Every structure is written in C-alpha cells, then in structure tokens.
Amino acid sequence: QVRLQESGPGLVKPWTTLSLACTVSGASITANWPYWSWIRQSPGKGLEWMGAIATSGSTYYNPHLKSRTDIFRDTSKNQITLQLRSVTPEDTAVYYCARSTKLLLGVTERAPYDSWGQGTQVTVSS
C-alpha cells in the first residue's frame, strides 16, 4: 500500500524559499502512469492545486503560482520536492502531496486522487 509523508520546516520567514518533501513508500515514483501533485489549504480557504510531476519528469503548474514554484523528484530517496520562492504570509497553509493515475490539472477534490499524505503545516512569519 502506498504511503505519502510530507515534511518541511514548519516555520519560514517571508521572502525566503520554502522547500517541502513528499516521501513515498510502498510504490516507486517512477512507476508507470502515476502523477504526483502538491495541493495546499490556507486558513479559511479551500484547497488550491499547486502543481504536479509525472513519471516522465514532466511538470505542470498552477498558472497563478508558476513563477514561484518548482516541483522535482529525487529518485534515490523516492521523494517529490516542492519549492516555493518568495513566500509571504499568504502562503501559510497545510501542504499536501497526492498521487493520481491521471493528470488532474487544478483538481482539489480528494476522490480523484488515490492516495494523500496527512499534510504538513507551514507558517510564514518573521
């Protein structure tokens, strides 16, 4: 059974780069067909799809975040990494990684994804 575990610093200062890791167990991030997405939920707001990476290494980003976001993978660690540059307090959120067998551009409903991590809280504050 696949398991996704997000990890990160918890507290970051404004205008720095946030880096989060999604460590996958029970499946290979280079296995056929799955897509790995990052989704976040800010306080009082709905879920926001941030981007995804495919097994091919192709990446897809939310247009509103594309200029600040990079998603890449470390196959030696079986991890998917999210980097978000120039963070502000508006980036305070719980960040989730999720797996799907199809590319789910902009999709935030839980059901289409077959696996989710439990999320990691990130607070942006000086």
pLDDT at 15 over 90: yes
**H or E element in which residue 51 lies:** strand 47-54
Q: Are 10 and 19 in contact (CB under 8 A)?
A: no
CB proximity list for 94: less than 8 A, separation 6 or greater:
40, 41, 119, 120, 121, 122
Residue 47 phi, psi dihedral angles, 5° rounding: -75, 145
**19-70 tens-digit pLDDT:** 999 999 998 998 877 899 999 999 888 899 999 999 989 999 999 999 999 9
If you search the block for the tokens 């009082």, which residue do you land on? 44
Range name among 28-32, 80-84, 96-100 with the lowest pLDDT average: 28-32
- pLDDT, position 46: 87
